[in-house]
Structure formats: structure tokens, C-alpha cells
């Protein structure tokens, strides 16, 4: 983040601290519980926000070299992402053109070719069919016409995006709206992938996103984990198109009052959260990045698949470094897996219980209001009610 931006945001934080205030929405807002329980609503979200939008599938540093690849199966089709010999990232349907088997599993490095595990047809890293095994007895097939089916893929600021549908153009401008300047400073593409954790929860995908968007719960739900590090109920929220940036200051930020502005380092004294609408949350921490990604699972209103990718500045060489990052990741996982997401599962069960027709978002939860409104807008649903 540019230093000027850090200073501007820090001044807003210090002003809030002085006045015991936070960024606010204009009104309290009400959301119908069907936003989280209606299969029809989920179907529209899936169509418009997942299948119909470019999807983030990892940082470029997951596949830094030719032949590096990863796969994804959360978007209704099996997807393979690979870096070609020419250095370009491409995406394909992970489907062999012979009889449809998967040609790659998981992720890996330095593949010269993707050899189908069924009958060994072989594709190069640009998706071209290069070998038909036992060609003489199989018979003639036009190899040039039977490469892996390509999906549009692109990288920007070290993030890889893919269109889940073939023959779809990829316009990343709205995806990165308002984020280019900040993201250019984070050097995402040259970080190192430490670990990815995939979990599955019984809640609507939006409830998983909601957990990242307000600090109102910090001193209550997180009193024994991250709560003591951060100011409760204090956030700075800026929205850009469908995206948002939210800053949660650490308590030590009060030291800025005794320092010249030139020494203010907001990245060190806060957790900076970006929502890349709709399903990616990037958390900028002092010395590492966490990227959360959620998908509705099994077409169900109350199932979500959550990925946490943990990226670090240098490869974790040596026992001390491994231990350091293990502890770091453990704290994150403990906070979210024993506090936020169990609370989210409770919420989902509560909403399905019929106890109430609406949930209420406070003025001090502006990012939450923005996110839910933006989803509603994108799927043509009625917006939040103000009374
Ligand atoms: S299905 Fe891939 S080689 Fe037969
Ligand atoms: Fe939380």
C-alpha cells in the first residue's frame, strides 16, 4: 500500500480512536433470512457470481515455472491450470478428449506432459494432444483438433483468474476495481506458498464471507485469540465497485501519535482485508498473506467449501522458520475453525429454524451491509430494508 494511503487511513483511525467512533453506515439494515436459506436465491448466485464471473484460483507463485500446475473442482467443472513452456498460464477443462478421464490430480511441478492415467493419451503444457498411445491400432484421430478444451485465464498482480465456462472472455478490470494501486505494492506473485487448508462447513457461503467483515465481534467471540491484538468495533471501510477494503487497526497503532508520519507503517499495525467480490478475502498481515476463498458446496444453501492459502515472503527453510509459520497458521486456523466458523454454523441452523424472518446489520457493520447489498444487486434481489 502506498505510504500516502497508509497515512490517510491512519489519520482516519486516529480520529476514530480520539472520538471513540468507527466508520458507520447511514442506517441499521435488515436482511431477510431467505438470503441464506433459499435454494432459488443460491441458484442465481451460483449462476451470476460464480459461473458467470472470473474466478481466482491461486497466486502466480503456486505455478511459477513451466510445467507447474494446479487443479480445482469447486466450480461445477474440473479445471486444470498450467504454466506453459512459453511462461503463459493457461486453464483447461481437466478432461481427456479420448473418453473423458481426468488428466491431472492435485497440484505439482515441472510436468513435461499430462499423461492421462486411463490409456496414456498425452497433452503438453499448452494443452495440445501430442501422443495417442497405440496409435496404429487405435486408428486415425486428428490430434490438432483434440487438445484439452481451453478456458480463458489471465494473471494480474500475481493473481490467477479463470473463466469457468469455455469461450468466455475474461475482463479483469471490474474484478480489480479500486485495488490495482494497493495490489501493485504487495508483490503477490513473488511470495511463496506455505500451505493450503481446505475445510467444509454447514453454512451458507455468504456467512463465511460475513465473518471477515466486521470487528464488532472481536472482543467477544475472539477474546481468547486475536481479540486482544486488535481494537474491537473500529474499522475503516472503503468500497470500490463491488470490492471493498477494510482496515482493522492493532492496538499498538496508538504509537503513531509519537512518531512522524514518515514512519507510520499501517501494514505493520493493522490487518488489512480486501474483499474481491464475491468470494475471495485477502488478509494482509505484517509478514504474510492469507487468502480465503469460499464456494457454495453440493448446490446446497447450507454447505460451503473454504480454502485458506497461506503465503510467506521467503521459502520456509530450516526448522525455526517452519515452526514460526506453523504457529502463525495455527493461530489463524484456531481463530477461524474454533470460533468464527462454528459460530457461522450456529447462525445457519438458527436461520433455518424459523425463529425470525430477518437479521439485523448495525451501522457499525458497514462492510457487511455493503457485501450483502452488492450480492443482492448482482442477482436482482430486493435490497436490504432500512426498517
Ligand atoms: S480416457 Fe484418457 S486416454 Fe483414455
Ligand atoms: Fe472473526
Q: Give the model confidence (pLDDT) of 72-89 as tens digits.
A: 999 999 999 999 999 999
Contacts of 93 (CB under 8 A, 6+ apart): 77, 78, 79, 80, 148, 149, 151, 166
- How is the chain split into domains, by residue range? 3-53+175-379, 55-162
- Under the banding of pLDDT at 50, 70 and 90, the label for residue 225 is confident
Specify the CATH superfamily of domain 3-53+175-379: Naphthalene 1,2-dioxygenase Alpha Subunit; Chain A, domain 1 (3.90.380.10)
**Would you put residue 164 in left (φ > 0), alpha (ψ -120 to 50) or beta?**
alpha
Average pLDDT of 223-239?
92
Rg (CA), the chain: 22
* Mutation test residue for ligand 1: of 92, 94, 98, the one with most atoms within 8 Å of CB: 98
* Mutation test residue for ligand 1: of 92, 99, 104, the one with most atoms within 8 Å of CB: 99
Rounded Cα–Cα distance for residues 339 and 359 (Å):
20
Any atom of ligand 1 within 6 Å of the Cβ of 138: no
Nearest CA to ligand 1 atom 3: 119
Mean residue pLDDT across the chain: 96
What local confidence, expressed as pLDDT, does residue 312 receive? 95
DSSP string covering 148-160, please? PPEE-EEEETTEE
Average pLDDT of 319-323?
89
Q: Express each pLDDT in 39-57 by its tens digit.
A: 999 999 999 999 999 999 9
Rounded Cα–Cα distance for residues 186 and 157 (Å):
8
How far is residue 239 from each of residues 5, 272, 369, measured CA to CA in Å?
14, 13, 11
Average pLDDT of 243-266?
96
Rounded Cα–Cα distance for residues 266 and 255 (Å):
11
Q: Is the pLDDT of residue 112 over 90?
A: yes
Quickly list H helices, the chain. Answer: 3-19, 34-37, 39-45, 135-138, 180-184, 205-210, 218-221, 319-335, 341-352, 366-379
Which ligand number lies closest to the CA of residue 138? 1
Query: What percentage of the chain reaches a pLDDT higher than 70?
Result: 100
What local confidence, expressed as pLDDT, does residue 318 receive? 86
What local confidence, expressed as pLDDT, does residue 255 receive? 95
Q: Which three cell numbers stand for residue 134?
A: 497405440
* ipTM score of complex: 0.97
Q: Of residues 118 and 317, which shows the higher confidence score? A: 118
Any atom of ligand 1 within 6 Å of the Cβ of 288: no
Q: Express each pLDDT in 171-205 by its tens digit.
A: 999 999 999 999 999 999 999 999 999 999 999 99
How far is residue 88 from each of residues 55, 68, 77, measured CA to CA in Å?
17, 11, 22
| Cα of 336 from ligand 2 centre, angstroms | 6
Q: Express each pLDDT in 287-304 by its tens digit.
A: 899 999 999 999 999 999
Burial (CB count within 10 angstroms: exposed 0-12, middle 13-18, buried 19+), residue 64: middle
Kindly report the CATH number that applies to the domain delimited by 55-162. Answer: 2.102.10.10
Contacts of 36 (CB under 8 A, 6+ apart): 204, 206, 207, 301, 302, 348, 351
Rounded Cα–Cα distance for residues 352 and 37 (Å):
7
Average pLDDT of 103-108?
98
- Which atom of ligand 1 lies closest to the CA of 121? 3
- Under the banding of pLDDT at 50, 70 and 90, the label for residue 111 is very high
Amino acid at each position: 500500500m502506498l505510504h500516502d494511503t497508509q497515512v490517510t487511513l491512519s489519520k482516519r483511525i486516529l480520529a476514530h480512536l480520539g472520538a471513540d467512533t468507527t466508520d458507520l453506515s447511514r442506517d441499521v439494515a435488515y436482511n431477510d433470512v431467505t438470503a441464506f436459506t433459499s435454494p432459488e436465491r443460491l441458484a442465481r448466485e451460483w449462476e451470476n457470481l460464480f459461473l458467470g464471473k472470473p474466478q481466482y484460483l491461486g497466486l502466480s507463485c503456486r505455478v511459477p515455472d513451466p510445467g507447474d500446475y494446479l487443479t480445482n473442482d469447486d466450480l461445477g467443472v474440473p479445471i486444470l491450470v498450467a504454466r506453459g513452456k512459453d511462461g503463459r498460464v493457461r486453464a483447461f477443462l481437466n478432461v481427456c478428449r479420448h473418453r473423458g478421464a481426468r488428466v491431472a490430480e492435485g497440484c505439482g511441478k515441472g510436468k513435461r506432459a499430462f499423461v492421462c492415467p486411463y490409456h496414456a493419451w498425452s497433452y503438453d503444457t499448452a494443452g495440445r494432444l501430442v501422443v495417442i498411445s497405440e496409435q496404429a491400432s487405435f486408428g486415425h484421430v486428428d490430434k490438432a483438433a483434440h487438445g484439452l478444451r481451453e478456458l480463458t485465464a489471465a494473471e494480474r498482480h500475481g493473481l490467477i483468474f479463470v473463466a469457468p465456462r469455455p469461450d468466455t472472455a475474461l475482463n479483469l478490470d471490474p474484478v480489480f476495481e479500486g485495488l490495482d494501486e494497493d495490489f501493485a505494492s504487495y508483490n503477490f506473485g513473488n511470495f511463496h506458498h506455505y500451505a493450503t487448508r481446505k475445510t467444509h462447513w454447514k453454512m451458507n457461503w455468504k456467512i463465511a464471507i460475513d465473518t471477515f467483515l466486521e470487528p464488532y465481534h472481536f472482543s467477544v467471540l475472539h477474546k481468547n485469540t486475536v481479540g486482544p491484538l486488535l481494537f474491537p468495533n473500529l474499522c475503516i471501510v472503503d468500497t470500490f465497485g463491488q470490492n471493498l477494503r477494510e482496515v482493522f487497526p492493532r492496538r499498538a497503532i496508538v504509537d503513531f501519535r509519537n512518531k512522524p508520519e514518515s514512519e507510520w507503517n499501517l501494514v505493520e499495525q493493522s490487518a488489512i482485508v480486501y474483499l474481491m467480490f464475491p468470494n475471495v478475502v485477502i488478509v494482509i498481515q505484517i509478514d504474510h498473506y492469507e487468502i480465503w476463498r469460499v464456494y457454495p458446496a453440493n448446490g446446497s444453501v447450507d454447505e460451503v467449501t473454504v480454502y485458506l492459502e497461506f503465503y510467506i515472503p521467503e521459502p520456509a527453510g530450516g526448522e525455526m522458520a517452519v515452526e514460526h509459520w506453523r504457529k502463525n497458521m495455527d493461530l489463524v486456523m484456531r481463530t477461524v475453525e474454533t470460533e468464527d466458523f462454528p459460530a457461522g454454523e450456529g447462525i445457519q441452523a438458527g436461520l433455518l429454524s424459523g425463529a425470525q424472518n430477518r437479521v439485523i446489520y448495525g451501522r457499525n457493520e458497514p462492510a457487511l451491509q455493503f457485501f450483502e447489498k452488492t450480492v443482492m444487486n448482482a442477482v436482482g434481489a430486493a435490497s436490504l430494508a432500512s426498517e
